[in-house]
Amino acid sequence: MNTPEHHLTAVYLLAASIVVPLLIVSVWRYLSRRQYRKAQEAMRRGNQLHRKWLEGSKADHEQASEG
């Protein structure tokens, strides 16, 4: 049972048990960061649109109160 192939398989299994979780974690972190950046960008765009709408609404309101 103690053939070199058996030891090689054990080494491969050990390496895989270390590499695979690291790979999964790094992919998970990359995807979650990308999602976070997209959410931040969408929030920024929403805020800009809201600010424009508020300024436009305020200008309309001032014109209406002047006229």
pLDDT (tens digit per residue) in 39-65: 999 999 999 999 999 999 988 888 888
**Length of the chain in terms of residues written:** 67
Task: Calculate the dihedral angle through the C-alpha atoms of 33, 36, 37, 43, rounding to the nearest 10 degrees.
Answer: 180
Cα distances (angstroms) measured from residue 7 to each of 10, 11, 18, 19: 5, 6, 17, 18
Q: What is the rounded average pLDDT for all residues in the chain?
A: 91
Whole-angstrom distance, CA of residue 15 vs CA of residue 20: 8
**Residue 48 structure tokens:** 């800009």
pTM above 0.85, yes or no: no
